[in-house]
């Protein structure tokens, strides 16, 4: 039986300690990481109270931490793992979960949970989580205790890239990584205040607007691609995704055959000019994209990609990735997640 009290934790920052540290944490505690920059309107005090109340009802001890940067979130996840936390929840969007994933080693017993408060919340959509914070937390704590569902071990992906000094960098992903038009649409928000303003007004549809704008001005990206060590093939890429899950956003099923428990990733490759990806959008609404002309669906465990002209933009779990990315690997059964109602999008079928 767990102690039925909760702790809200705010640790002072100093120039010599850039990360928020977890103090007085015991094994089996629950950690909540709040992203104050996520797309939600909840004040952090209100959100903290919700997290504490949900854990109190479940007889769990909670620690609530607000982080300022993805690096701080990653460090908090690393500390939670090292101290034996039962679970760590990202309070924000898919980017918040991605930041925590970087701090959880492959095979960590600390489970990843989500409090969906971002713009799209694709992981929460894929796993059929309740949409309100209190209900989402309660359902996932019930899975942690085996009352409703159970924790699942799922695959993750890893993107390899080179740094400026020639060393190798790696970044893991929960949902997908993609090159081409989708990534250009994500990158567009970084360079356009008007698009950021539109995103704050209308939310997720702003990504489609950004994609249309990019498609009108972009050429295809010639690339050489090799899957699982096979001979490479050359293709003009409009867009290609390495999917662990099925959706781009909560409306477009770009990888309809993907599942997070099959030990593989799914390459969905759209050939030709970027506008073709826009033209094929209606097929994603019904899961028919793999049957379209000029589209390839290929499961893989390792992908190697070489640009033959300008490097295409890449996005990783909804955020811009390094232009020097050159390979993607699957990490089978690498992550423990809280999934109270597994669906076919998670388990396949």
- pLDDT tens digit sequence for 206-242: 999 999 999 999 999 999 999 999 999 999 999 999 9
User: Rounded to an integer, what distance in angstroms lies between the CA atom of residue 259 and that of residue 254?
Assistant: 12
pLDDT band with cut points at 50, 70 and 90 for residue 161: very high
Average pLDDT, integer, range 285-314: 94
- Residue 335's pLDDT is 98
- Residue 36's pLDDT is 72
- Residue 40's pLDDT is 60
- Residue 35's pLDDT is 78
Gyration radius of the chain's alpha carbons: 20
Other Cβ atoms within 10 Å of 124 Cβ, number: 21
* Burial tier of 22 (Cβ tally within 10 Å: 0-12, 13-18, 19+): buried
pLDDT band with cut points at 50, 70 and 90 for residue 276: very high
pLDDT band with cut points at 50, 70 and 90 for residue 25: low
Q: The tokens 């050359």 sit on which residue?
A: 234
Task: Please give the C-alpha separations between residue 343 and each of 23, 176, 241, 255, 346, in angstroms, as whole numbers.
Answer: 37, 18, 22, 15, 5
Does 28 have pLDDT greater than 90?
no
Residues 6+ apart with CB under 8 A from 277: 180, 181, 182, 211, 215, 238, 239, 270
pLDDT band with cut points at 50, 70 and 90 for residue 10: very low
User: Rounded to an integer, what distance in angstroms lies between the CA atom of residue 299 and that of residue 243?
Assistant: 9
Does 23 have pLDDT greater than 60?
no
Residues 6+ apart with CB under 8 A from 151: 111, 143, 144, 336, 337, 338, 339
- Residue 9's pLDDT is 41
pLDDT band with cut points at 50, 70 and 90 for residue 133: very high
CA angle 311, 176, 119 (to 5 degrees): 105
Query: Structural domains in the chain?
Result: 30-148 (3.40.50.10330), 156-334 (2.60.200.40)
Query: Terminal CA-to-CA distance of the chain, rounded, Å?
Result: 37
pLDDT band with cut points at 50, 70 and 90 for residue 81: very high
User: Rounded to an integer, what distance in angstroms lies between the CA atom of residue 65 and that of residue 201?
Assistant: 28
- Residue 203's pLDDT is 87
pLDDT band with cut points at 50, 70 and 90 for residue 119: confident
- pLDDT tens digit sequence for 39-77: 565 778 899 999 999 999 999 999 999 998 999 999 999
Average pLDDT, integer, range 320-333: 97
User: Rounded to an integer, what distance in angstroms lies between the CA atom of residue 29 and that of residue 40?
Assistant: 25
- Residue 68's pLDDT is 87
Average pLDDT, integer, range 123-134: 93
DSSP strand pairing (221-227 vs 233-243): antiparallel
Does 139 have pLDDT greater than 50?
yes
Does 348 have pLDDT greater than 90?
no
Q: What is the pTM of this model?
A: 0.90
Q: How many helices (H) and strands (E) does the chain have?
A: 11, 17
- Secondary structure (3-state) at 256: coil
pLDDT band with cut points at 50, 70 and 90 for residue 20: very low
- Residue 212's pLDDT is 95
Identify the helix (H) or strand (E) that includes residue 87.
strand 87-92
Of the listed ranges 25-34, 114-123, 140-149, 309-318, the least confidently predicted one is 25-34
- pLDDT tens digit sequence for 245-265: 999 888 889 999 899 999 999
- What crossing angle do the helices spanning 193-202 and 181-191 adopt, rounded to 10°? 100
For residues 276 and 343, which has the higher predicted lDDT (pLDDT)? 276
Does 22 have pLDDT greater than 80?
no
Average pLDDT, integer, range 144-163: 94
């Amino acid at each position: 039986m767990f102690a039925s009290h909760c702790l809200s934790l705010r640790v002072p920052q100093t120039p010599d300690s850039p990360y928020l540290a977890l103090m007085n944490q015991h094994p089996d505690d629950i950690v909540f990481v709040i992203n104050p920059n996520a797309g939600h309107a909840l004040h952090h005090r209100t959100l903290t109270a919700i997290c504490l109340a949900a854990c109190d009802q479940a007889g769990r001890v909670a620690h609530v931490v607000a982080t300022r940067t993805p690096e701080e979130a990653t460090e908090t996840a690393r500390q939670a793992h090292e101290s034996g936390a039962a679970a760590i929840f990202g309070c924000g969007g898919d980017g918040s979960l991605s930041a925590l994933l970087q701090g959880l080693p492959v095979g960590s017993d600390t489970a990843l949970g989500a409090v969906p408060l971002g713009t799209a919340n694709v992981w929460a959509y894929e796993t059929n989580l309740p949409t309100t914070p209190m209900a989402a937390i309660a359902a996932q704590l019930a899975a942690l205790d085996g009352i409703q569902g159970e924790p699942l071990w799922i695959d993750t992906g890893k993107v390899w890239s080179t740094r400026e000094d020639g060393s190798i960098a790696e970044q893991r992903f929960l949902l997908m990584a993609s090159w081409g038009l989708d990534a250009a649409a994500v990158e567009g928000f970084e360079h356009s205040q008007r698009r950021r303003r539109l995103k704050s007004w209308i939310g997720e549809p702003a990504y489609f607007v950004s994609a249309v704008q990019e498609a009108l001005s972009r050429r295809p990206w010639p690339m050489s691609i090799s899957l699982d060590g096979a001979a490479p093939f050359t293709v003009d890429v409009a867009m290609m995704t390495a999917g662990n899950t099925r959706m781009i956003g909560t409306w477009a099923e770009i990888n309809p055959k993907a599942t997070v428990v099959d030990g593989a990733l799914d390459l969905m490759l759209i050939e030709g000019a970027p506008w073709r990806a826009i033209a094929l959008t209606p097929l994603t609404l019904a899961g028919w994209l793999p049957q379209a002309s000029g589209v390839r669906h290929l499961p893989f465990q390792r992908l190697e990609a070489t640009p033959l002209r300008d490097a295409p933009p890449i996005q990783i779990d909804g955020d811009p990735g390094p232009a020097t990315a050159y390979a993607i690997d699957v990490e089978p059964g690498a992550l423990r997640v809280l999934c109270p109602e597994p669906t076919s999008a998670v388990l396949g079928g």
